[in-house]
Amino acid sequence: MERDARIYIAGHRGLVGSALVRRLERAGYTNLITRGRDEVDLTHREAVNAFFAETRPDYVFLAAARVGGIQANNAQPVDFLRDNLLIQTHVIDAAAAHNVRKLLFLGSSCIYPKFAPQPMPEDCLLTGELEPTNEWYAIAKIAGIKLCQAYRRQAGFNAVSVMPTNLYGPGDNFDLETSHVLPALIRKFHEARRDGQDSVVLWGSGTPRREFLHVDDLADACVFVMEHYEDEMPLNIGVGEDISIRELAGLIAEVVGFEGELELDRTRPDGTPRKLLDVSRLHALGWQAHTGLRDGIAATYAWYREHGPVA
């Protein structure tokens, strides 16, 4: 990408989008295009088309989405399915219609089957049933991948898809009703230490294993992929290592300085037993993550202490 190319970051205020803006600015890209939801509602086709006609971006990072954890997915299935289908369809359609040179679509590792082989290779997509607690979001993301593939085949539009693992970092959502497990645990342990609580409750059995990627590493990988990857098969982005939720909780408690007990609420759902991405294809291209989990958690906790529980 040329340093003066017009680059649109859809979802620039979110966790991923804000990291992309930081990464691109640090690399010297000078013509970044950003619009908030109050300026362009991506669920409205006419607004999206008018925006593309006005700004004429050369490249698009499609990071805009409705996201949330298990509780939010269970409570709002219509919103997660409908809004994500609308956002990604309108942006991809408009990008193709207005001759965008390349689009990168951000998917999610939840697209893979609940009992996929571990680590999960890209070609296990659509080979089994999805995890019920996030299937609405997963189905929308699968549709986005397929739309990118369809545009490549039918119209020659240069669209690629990446599948990041579980993300965390500065700008995360720490709302206990809608957040993912890592930021939720940071807030729980912080408040427990602050309030002098003796224990913190962890949902589920603590045995599921998850992989966690710092969002700044993801942003770096996305820029790398935009410049080096040309294929219709989605590309996994992760660290290639996982950790149990119980071990994660212990690590976060240590970073935060909470010395109380951890209680397991086994009446709460666990979700998928294990989610580890096979990142061998990405490694073969020449990219690897560089932020260690403990260092990343410490940096995220420092951001949280400065900014508070801003969703």
Strands 235-237 and 274-275: what pairing?
Answer: unpaired
- 16 has binding-site annotation: yes
- 106 has binding-site annotation: yes
- 108 has binding-site annotation: yes
- 13 has binding-site annotation: yes
Say how far apart CA 160 and CA 106 lie, in whole Å. Answer: 9
Residues 167 and 215 sit within 8 Å (Cβ to Cβ) = yes
- 180 has binding-site annotation: yes
Residues 232 and 103 sit within 8 Å (Cβ to Cβ) = no
The closest of 102, 58, 106, 107 to 227, measured between CA atoms, is 102
Say how far apart CA 9 and CA 24 lie, in whole Å. Answer: 10
Residues identified as active-site: 137
- 90 has binding-site annotation: no
In sequence order, what are the residues at sequence separation of 6 or more whose Cβ sits closer than 8 angstroms to the Cβ of residue 101? 58, 59, 158
Task: Give the full edge-to-edge strand order of the sheet including 243-244.
Answer: 243-244, 209-210, 274-275
Strands 209-210 and 243-244: what pairing?
Answer: antiparallel
- 228 has binding-site annotation: no
- 291 has binding-site annotation: no
> What does the block give as tokens for 28?
């010297």
- 17 has binding-site annotation: yes
- 214 has binding-site annotation: no
- 164 has binding-site annotation: yes
Cα of 117 vs its chain's centroid, Å: 21
Binding residues are 11-17, 106-109, 141, 164-167, 180, 188, 203, 210, 270
Binding residues for substrate are 188, 203, 210, 270
Binding residues for NADP(+) are 11-17, 106-109, 141, 164-167, 180
